[in-house]
Amino acid sequence: MKETELSVYRKKILILTTEFPPGPGGIGNHAYNLSDFLNRSNIEVKVITASDFTDESAEKKFDAKQNYRVIRFKRYDSRIRTYRERLKIISEEVKSENFTHIIFSGRFSLYASLFLKKFKDKIKFLAIAHGGDINAGNISEKYFITKALKQMDLIIPVSEYSKTKLPSGISDSKIKVIHNGFNFEKMDTLMLRNKAESKDQLTLVSVGTVWPRKGHHNVLKAFEEILKVYPEVKYNIAGRLADLSKVKEYFDDKNLKDHLNIAGQVTNEELHNILRDSDIFILLSESQSSGDFEGFGIAVLEANHFGLPAIGSRNSGLEDAIKNGVSGILVDPKNTKEICNAITEIKNNYPFYSEGARKWSASHHWSEIIKSYINEIEKLN
């Protein structure tokens, strides 16, 4: 074994995250692939995670397949007890294990790091900066998030846009942008649908939790314009139905009934089928007054793998997820004509954008992304 490989093997990393499969969420997707590919690289990994929007049997089945241990928090009726028990578990694990690094992902994880300060002399602290987790809306949350981030040895924003949302006063030498990646195991064996190039046929798709930040309402607002050009358009919506306040009027609109497929939370197999049967991925995210924003958009890369070009919002992390003019097009999410023009541009040049999307996604596979993580971890020694 080479000296560098031996060095990597001696690492022991705790990943503390607010989401993890089989539950939904981009933070969980990222945490899982980071854990999995570190483990594949002969680095010892343990995961401690919150676990919402899934059931215990699914969790046990999922965890049994992993080559590392996953500890899941319980949620109690009392919020105080919930967080007290979480901090107790974290503290006990850190005390009993000789971790060399802790990676904090998600807002609660950042808060928890403040209770582990006494271990800083022995353990390197790394934070993943996604979206709203680092950009709180109120003063007290901002204070604690800033305090947590400033004690990190390294902060890894998932996009250049996320980097701009970090608190001021953090040395640039402690910040390294590493883009999100995707990993669809066994994907290459699936038959990828040849997208129809008919001028009339069009199926759009959005993947992600249905709530205001994801901007499904921006797509639906543009439907009046889209229907003028594509009267038979279909729109697949896959993701947990969390907050329908901005989309309910469209979901209830009888004139849109035949155009919408509201799939809700889906399995991976169901998602693959939906993507295969779609033409263009669309994510018109918008930042929220609470501070929440789109940090990157993993679902974009997953759709790109299927040859789906993407349309996404400018002034968001999607600027890193979409190679404008190659894998898709960036637009103003409020400009319905610009959105419709982007659809037409992609439809008229579909082979070019589809091939660009496939190549772009290949460069963001986790087998490539993990190399940057290991390189940065090595530098901290």
The DSSP string of 289-330 is: TTS------HHHHHHHHTT--EEEESSSTHHHHS-BTTTEEE
Position 136 scores a pLDDT of 72
Please say whether the beta carbons of 130 and 162 come within 8 A. yes
Least confident of 50-54, 208-212, 249-253, 303-307: 50-54
Read off the tokens for 193.
């649908």
- Residue 69, pLDDT > 60, answer yes
pLDDT at position 197, please? 54
For range 183-210, the mean pLDDT: 68
Place 188 in a pLDDT band, splitting at 50, 70 and 90.
very low
Domain 3-181+365-379, CATH class in plain words: alpha beta
Residue 292's pLDDT band, with cuts at 50, 70 and 90, is low
Higher pLDDT, 35 or 294: 35
Class of residue 308 by CB neighbours under 10 A (exposed 0-12, middle 13-18, buried 19+): buried
Tell me the C-alpha distance between 327 and 350, whole Å.
10
Q: In this model, does residue 5 exceed pLDDT 60?
A: no
pLDDT digits (tens, 9 = 90+) for 120-169: 999 999 999 998 788 877 889 989 999 999 999 999 999 888 898 899 99
- Give the 3-state secondary structure of 217-283: HHHHHCHHHHHHHCCCCEEEEECCECCCCCCHHHHCCCCCHHHEEEEECCCHHHHHHHHHCCCEEEE
| 38 within 8 A of 103, measured Cβ to Cβ | no
Residue length of the chain: 381
Chain center to CA of 181: 9
pLDDT at 1 over 80: no
Q: What share of the chain is helix, strand, coil (3-state, %, to 5)?
A: 45, 15, 40
Question: For residue 378, what pLDDT is reported?
Answer: 94
Check: CB of residue 302 under 8 Å from CB of residue 207. Answer: yes
> CA-CA distance, 115 to 125, in Å (whole number)?
12
pLDDT band at residue 3 under the 50/70/90 scheme:
very low
CATH of 187-362, one of 3.30.9.10, 3.30.360.10, 3.40.50.2000, 3.20.20.10: 3.40.50.2000
Inform me whether the pLDDT recorded for 189 exceeds 50: no
Q: What is the pLDDT of residue 119?
A: 95
Given a cut of 90, whether residue 23 has pLDDT beyond it is no
pLDDT in tens, 224-242: 999 999 999 999 999 999 9
Name the token pair of 257: 């009934």
pLDDT tens column, 312-336: 999 888 999 999 999 999 999 999 9
Give the burial string for 358-371 (b: 16+ CB within 10 Å, else e): bebbeebbbeebbe
* pLDDT value for 185: 61
Q: What confidence category does residue 75 fall into, taking pLDDT thresholds of 50, 70 and 90?
A: confident
Check residue 155 and give its pLDDT.
Answer: 98
pLDDT tens figures, 350-365: 999 999 999 999 999 9
Q: For residue 7, is pLDDT > 50? A: no
Separation of alpha carbons 189 and 301, rounded Å: 18
In the chain, domain spans: 3-181+365-379, 187-362
Q: Does the CA dihedral 353-356-362-368 come out positive or negative? A: negative
- Work out the mean pLDDT of the chain and round it to a whole number: 90
Q: The tokens 């006990």 sit on which residue?
A: 92
CA distance 17 to 318: 22
Hey, what are 22's tokens? 């089989």
Tell me: pLDDT of 45 over 90. Answer: yes
Q: Which residue has the higher pLDDT, 135 or 39?
A: 39
Per-residue pLDDT, 231: 95
Domains 3-181+365-379 and 187-362 share a fold: yes
Question: Has residue 84 got a pLDDT over 90?
Answer: yes
Q: How much is the pLDDT for 176?
A: 97
Would you place residue 340 in the very low, low, confident or very high pLDDT band (cuts 50, 70, 90)?
very high
Return the pLDDT at 200: 67
**Positive or negative CA dihedral for 145, 36, 184, 62?**
negative
Whether 286 has a pLDDT exceeding 60, the answer reads yes
> Is the pLDDT reported for residue 371 higher than 80?
yes
User: Where does residue 117 fall: left (phi above 0), alpha (psi -120 to 50 degrees), or beta otherwise?
Assistant: alpha
